[in-house]
A and B are shown apart, each in its own frame.
Chain A
Amino acid sequence: GESVGLHLPTLSVQEGDNSIINCAYSNSASDYFIWYKQESGKGPQFIIDIRSNMDKRQGQRVTVLLNKTVKHLSLQIAATQPGDSAVYFCAENMETSYDKVIFGPGTSLSVIP
């Protein structure tokens, strides 16, 4: 069925290194993708989004890459900091249902000082 999933459930990164979190999606008709960060005890917070007519989008220290050929999404965090430790979710908006955002299972990022 249609789903959004992550390749790695956990990721440990040395402070200062770059982090890459991956996500696979199965619905080729999806046209909007979002990355959320969820810190312990809080609700998810928007990080960055990308529409299907783009391959790359950059924010502050974060970059999202979209590869529609293999239905793959990634989040790159530059110079990872302890404050980046959290669970990261990718999510997609299905083209046939603009109101439903489908979340993947999440990747836990731990930053080693």
Chain B
Amino acid sequence: EADIYQTPRYLVIGTGKKITLECSQTMGHDKMYWYQQDPGMELHLIHYSYGVNSTEKGDLSSESTVSRIRTEHFPLTLESARPSHTSQYLCASSRGGWGPATNEKLFFGSGTQLSVL
């Protein structure tokens, strides 16, 4: 069982609200990721982090921002939510390393299902 937690599980909010999706892991993993997933569709990487104070944008453009002040915590923030942000947001982490043959599997949280009205 993966020790990575996301809160809230479900969130319904109105347009224009600022929200923060929480993600924490207790595995001591350096690498953390945020994916966006629409129903029945593939996962799209929106943000990732190599470690504390490191954040990078992923392949899918997103209006969200992230921070990595502590190893175990990787919150995602939407300053002004819109209906187009309605989706499932999945947080993941991996041990990883650098260079060939150091790729590691991802551990996922259960996701936050966001609905913006």
Chain A positions within 8 Å of B, measured between CB atoms, are: 31-32, 34, 36, 41-46, 49, 51, 87, 89, 93, 95, 98-106, 108
Interface membership of B43, Cβ < 8 A: yes
Q: Which residues of B contact A93 (CB under 8 A)?
A: 103
Q: Which residues of B contact A43 (CB under 8 A)?
A: 90, 92, 108-111
- Give 13 A-B pairs besides A98-B98, A106-B40, A106-B41 with Cβ atoms closer than 8 angstroms: A31-B101, A41-B111, A42-B110, A45-B2, A46-B107, A89-B42, A89-B43, A99-B48, A101-B33, A101-B45, A102-B59, A103-B42, A103-B43
Q: Please tell me if the beta carbons of A51 and B105 are within 8 angstroms of each other in the complex.
A: no
CA distance A102 to B58 in the complex (A): 11
Selected contact of B103 from candidates A44, A98, A106, A108, CB within 8 Å: A98
Chain B positions within 8 Å of A, measured between CB atoms, are: 2, 31, 33, 35, 40-45, 48, 50, 56, 58-59, 90, 92, 96, 98-103, 105-111
Nearest residue, chain A, Cβ from B41: A105
Total CB contacts across the A-B interface at under 8 A: 65
* 7 A-B pairs with the lowest CB-CB distances in the bound complex, closest first: A43-B108, A32-B103, A46-B105, A103-B43, A93-B103, A103-B42, A105-B42
Nearest residue, chain A, Cβ from B50: A99
Nearest residue, chain A, Cβ from B90: A43
Q: Say whether, besides A100-B48, A103-B42, A105-B41, A42 and B99 are in contact (CB < 8 Å).
A: no
Shortest Cβ distance from residue B97 to the other chain A in the assembled complex, whole angstroms:
8
Q: Which residue of A51, A87, A100 has the most chain B CB atoms within 10 A of its CB atom?
A: A100
